[in-house]
Amino acid sequence: MSAPRPLALVTGGAKGLGRDLCLQLAGAGYDLLVNYLSSESEAESLTAEIGGTGAVAWRHRADVADEAEVSRLFSTADATGRKLGLVVNNVGIYDPRPLRQIDGVGWERTIACNLNGAFHVCRAALSRLGRGGQIINLGVAGNQMNQAEGFATDYYISKAALLQLTRAMAAEYAADGVWLNMVSPGQLVNSIGEVGGAPGLVPMGRDGTFGDIWEAVRYLLAAKYVTGANIEVAGGYRL
């Protein structure tokens, strides 16, 4: 009998980019644990679709901003009987508005999900991932430029902080054989957050696609000497 496929856990995996990554990972040899919060019907449909590819998929509702719910999410991962090999932190809140319109509730909600949630997920994953295990965090193009944004300030700050968290964890866990990297999309034509950007601002002359993001993820899955990296998939946007 062949060995069980490794398990990939994708947060926010039921829709959009997360959904596409789940399907791609199923085709690349992983079984999937799909995390979702409110998209139950989409998660159910996706796990059934993955099952039709020959992979096995589970779904688990959890708010990653809640550490206790993240603990239960990883208990589900443990119960699959699969060895955890990959975690993709894809979930994120993007609610673009000027800084003067962001109130305390909105600020706390964005930071809790995009930064604290990723920390909770990484922390739980790092206690389980063995040598060769990987975490890939999703960022945003330009998150290392220290550039002031005129909108979605809470989002961009959360992603800039996530980049530094990724680097810090990568440095600490490299000796354990666990790699942490970031993939930072630019404008995506089929993104939930930015539906059709302004291709004229992109030197390559087009918005990106989910397929472009998968190419970067696939590279990291094969790379054996890359950790703490931030791969911008943005067609030169914000250079």
Query: Among all residues, which ones are annotated catalytic?
Result: 155
E-only strand ranges, the chain: 7-10, 31-36, 57-61, 84-89, 134-138, 179-185, 230-233
Angle between helices 16-27 and 40-51 (to 10 degrees): 20
CB 156 within 8 A of CB 140: yes
CB 181 within 8 A of CB 228: yes
- The CA distances from residue 204 to 46, 186, 215, in Å, are 32, 12, 17
Enter the tokens of residue 96: 């673009």
Report CA 47 to chain centroid distance, whole Å. 18
Q: Is 223 exposed, middle or buried (0-12, 13-18, 19+ CB in 10 A)?
A: middle
The distance in angstroms from the start CA to the end CA of the chain is 50
- Total Cβ atoms within 10 A of residue 191: 20
| Backbone torsions φ then ψ of 132, nearest 5 degrees | 90, -5
